[in-house]
Amino acid sequence: MSEKKLPVSSQRMQELAQEYPTPFHLYDEQGIRMQARAFREAFSWVPGFKNYYAVKACPNPAILQIMKEEGFGADCSSLPELILANEAGMSNEDLMFTSNDTPPEEFKAAYDLGAVINLDDISHIRTLQMAAGMPSLISFRYNPGPDRTGNAIIGNPVEAKYGVTTQQLLSAYAQARDAGATRFALHTMVASNELDGSYIVETARMLFAQTIRLHRELGIRLEFVNMGGGIGIPYQVDQDAMDLNQVSAGIKELYDEMIVPAGLDPLNIVFECGRMVTGPFGYLVTRVRHVTEKYKQYVGLDASMANLMRPALYGAYHHITVVGKEDQKPTECYDVTGSLCENNDKFAIDRKLPPVEPNDIVVIHDTGAHGHAMGFNYNAKLRSAEYLLESNGSVRMIRRAETIDDLFATLHW
Ligand SMILES: *Cc1c(COP(=O)(O)O)cnc(C)c1O
Q: Classify residue 19: in a domain, yes or no.
A: no
- Taking CA atoms, 317 is separated from 314, 351, 386, in Å, by 9, 10, 21
* CA atoms of 58 and 76, how far apart (whole Å): 12
- Residue 246 shares a structural domain with residue 297: no
- Residue 230 shares a structural domain with residue 308: no
pLDDT at 153: 63
192 lines ligand 1 (CB under 6 A): yes
Per-residue pLDDT tens over the stretch 156-173: 888 888 999 999 999 999
- Residue 74 shares a structural domain with residue 95: yes
Closest Cα to residue 265, out of 43, 13, 47, 119?
Answer: 47
- Residue 77 shares a structural domain with residue 208: yes
Indicate if the pLDDT at residue 47 is higher than 90. yes
Rounded mean pLDDT of 245-266?
Answer: 98
Going from the Cα of 228 to the center of ligand 1, the distance in angstroms, rounded, reads: 6
pLDDT at 150: 64
| CATH label of the domain that carries residue 194 | 3.20.20.10
Where does the pLDDT of residue 32 fall: very low under 50, low under 70, confident under 90, or very high at 90 and above?
very high
The answer to whether residue 341 is catalytic is yes
CA atoms within 13 A on the CB side of 359: 2
* CA atoms of 353 and 58, how far apart (whole Å): 29
- Residue 98 shares a structural domain with residue 238: yes
- Residue 143 shares a structural domain with residue 82: yes
For residue 118, which phi and psi values (nearest 5 degrees)?
A: -110, 105
Q: Classify residue 21: in a domain, yes or no.
A: no
SS3 144: coil
pLDDT at 51: 98
Indicate if the pLDDT at residue 1 is higher than 90. no
Rounded mean pLDDT of 39-67?
Answer: 98
pLDDT at 58: 98
Per-residue pLDDT tens over the stretch 281-328: 999 999 999 999 999 999 999 999 999 999 999 999 999 999 999 999
Indicate if the pLDDT at residue 53 is higher than 90. yes
pLDDT at 298: 98
The mean pLDDT of the chain is 96
Task: Decide the pairing of beta strands 346-353 and 395-399.
Answer: unpaired
CA atoms within 13 A on the CB side of 397: 12
397: left (phi over 0), alpha (psi -120 to 50) or beta: beta
- Residue 295 shares a structural domain with residue 394: yes
Q: Classify residue 7: in a domain, yes or no.
A: no
Per-residue pLDDT tens over the stretch 205-247: 999 999 999 999 999 999 999 999 999 999 999 999 999 999 9
- Residue 111 shares a structural domain with residue 204: yes
The distance between the two most distant Cα atoms of the chain, rounded to a whole number of Å, is 69
Number of domains in the chain: 2
pLDDT at 147: 77
pLDDT at 149: 62
Q: 204 lies in which domain range?
A: 29-278
Question: At which of 228, 247, 278 does a domain end?
Answer: 278
CB burial of residue 174 (10 Å; 0-12, 13-18, 19+): middle
- Residue 47 shares a structural domain with residue 140: yes
- Residue 404 shares a structural domain with residue 274: no
- Residue 266 shares a structural domain with residue 285: no
SS3 21: coil
Q: Classify residue 390: in a domain, yes or no.
A: yes
Helices vs. strands in the chain: H and E counts, helices first? 12, 17
| CATH label of the domain that carries residue 381 | 2.40.37.10
Rounded mean pLDDT of 30-50?
Answer: 98
Per-residue pLDDT tens over the stretch 328-371: 999 999 999 999 999 999 999 999 999 999 999 999 999 999 99
Question: At which of 225, 245, 278 does a domain end?
Answer: 278
Helix (H) or strand (E) holding 218, with range, is helix 197-218
Residue type (1 letter), 62:
A
- Residue 36 shares a structural domain with residue 142: yes
Going from the Cα of 396 to the center of ligand 1, the distance in angstroms, rounded, reads: 27
Per-residue pLDDT tens over the stretch 71-96: 999 999 999 999 999 999 999 999 99
Q: Which member of 58, 76, 273, 341 is catalytic?
A: 341
SS3 335: strand
pLDDT at 221: 98
pLDDT at 159: 85
Q: Classify residue 18: in a domain, yes or no.
A: no
Closest Cα to residue 3, out of 282, 323, 241, 310?
Answer: 241
Q: Is residue 334 a contact partner of residue 298, using CB atoms and an 8 Å limit?
A: yes
57 lines ligand 1 (CB under 6 A): yes
Output the residue whose Cα is nearest ligand 1's atom 3: 229
Indicate if the pLDDT at residue 410 is higher than 80. yes
CB burial of residue 408 (10 Å; 0-12, 13-18, 19+): exposed
